[in-house]
Amino acid sequence: MGLCWATGAALADDLVIGLTAWPSAKVTGHIIGELAKERTGDSPVYLERGSIGLLTAIARGEVDVYPELWSPNLDNAVKRIGDSLTVSKRSVAGHQGICATRAAVEQTGIKSVADLNDPAIAAAFDTDDDGKGELWIGDGSWFSTNVERIRARSVGYDQTMQLLEGAEEVAMAAVDAGSALGRPVVFYCYSPHHVFMLHDIVVLEEPAHDAASWNIVAPADDKDWLQHSSAATGWDASSLSIGYATSLATKHPAIADLLGRIQFEPADIAAMSYAVEVERKSPEDAARDWIIANRTRIDGWLQ
């Protein structure tokens, strides 16, 4: 089987790896693909799709691997598809929230997410003179973007801030420019991520996560999902793990074994993001370079 991108139905024996729309996930997906090829001799098929779409495809038997499965973002979706998905017990610690550039903190005095409710502070982030500041809340294909919209409505800054959805690459370019020119920028942030390597970024304060104050309704479950949801406190502790079709244990047992052994570290994930977004490497090249640099670690996983 040759290396290819899935444009139709994959062959029954193909290993299908899902790729989501953030840079490190594309690199981890290609690392998994290269390591799987070393074990089986066959090249995988790669399929780009949104988070929920990939999980649905796993439940249908159309996709085998979800390289960076974020928790708690997708916990409900994982429960919904049940035993068709196995989540590796090995995970990478993460964090999610709202961040500001150092210039934003120094020029506006912003310290907390709730400060965005203040029209005077919000005005500092208004670049198009529409009366609202701008806040990037994520890519439209990410489930976390829905959660950030819920959080904005629950806290109230949806009234003072224009909530922007769009490609992460464009949003990070705005952060780069803001940091270089001393312009205030606020944005949804997650770690591990290369932005913390590049710039002086401040995570805004907010109340600790309170599960009782969170009620996240998915758009697929309710057309009025936003009105029926609430999330007035910070995110719960976050992590990312490899998810894969339980059927792999039968279909490709050597690959299922491999996926249960892989252990990335936060620095790995940030470096992968950096390689794609800053060094402008393709995910494929970044994956190959990472494998070459970490061969001893990989051998240790497989012992």
Specify whether 66 is located in the same domain as 76: yes
Do both 108 and 202 map to the same domain? yes
Residues 6 or more apart whose CB falls under 8 angstroms from that of 152 comprise 135, 137, 158, 161, 163
Domain that holds residue 219: 94-231
Beta bridge partners of 189: 97
Q: Are residues 104 and 89 in the same domain?
A: no
Instruction: Give the per-residue pLDDT at 5.
Output: 44
In the chain, the amino acid numbered 275 is A
- Give yes or no for a contact between 118 and 112, defined as CB atoms under 8 angstroms apart: no
The rounded distance, in Å, linking the Cα atoms of 159 and 103 is: 23
Give the per-residue pLDDT at 13.
Answer: 77
Task: Report pLDDT for 131.
Answer: 95
Q: What is the CATH number of the domain that holds 102?
A: 3.40.190.100
* Nearest to 22, CA basis, from 151, 166, 197, 186: 166
- Asked whether the beta carbons of 241 and 71 are under 8 A apart, the reply is yes
> 173 and 222: one domain?
yes
Question: Mean pLDDT, 10 residues at a time, over the chain (303 residues)?
Answer: 42 86 96 96 94 95 97 93 97 98 97 98 97 97 95 98 97 96 98 96 98 93 97 97 97 95 97 96 98 97 90
Considering the domain architecture, whether residues 258 and 199 belong to the same structural domain is answered as: no
Are residues 112 and 130 both part of a single domain? Answer: yes
The structural domain count of the chain equals 2
Q: What is the pLDDT of residue 7?
A: 38
Last residue of a domain, one of 206, 231, 256: 231
Q: Residues 110, 206: one domain?
A: yes
Q: Which two tokens stand for residue 277?
A: 């977004």
Cα distances from 8 to residues 4, 57, 62, 63, in angstroms, run 11, 13, 10, 12
Give yes or no: residues 37 and 118 share one domain. no
One domain, residues 21 and 89: yes
In a 3-state reduction of DSSP, which class is residue 169?
A: helix
CATH of the domain at 9: 3.40.190.10
Q: Are residues 185 and 252 located together in one domain of the fold?
A: no
Distance CA 216, CA 226 (A): 8
Whole-number pLDDT of residue 1: 32
140 and 199 both lie in a single domain: yes
Question: How crowded is residue 129: how many other Cβ atoms within 10 Å of its Cβ?
Answer: 7
Within 13 Å of residue 104, how many CA atoms lie on the same side as its CB? 33
Q: What is the DSSP code (8-state) at residue 124?
A: T
Residue 283: asked if its preceding bond is cis (omega within 30°), the reply is no
Domain boundary among 231, 258, 290: 231
Residues 40, 102 within the same domain: no
Helix (H/G/I), strand (E/B), else coil: 190: strand
End position of a domain, from candidates 201, 231, 261 = 231
- pLDDT, residue 57, reads 97
Phi, psi of 132 (to 5 degrees): -130, 145
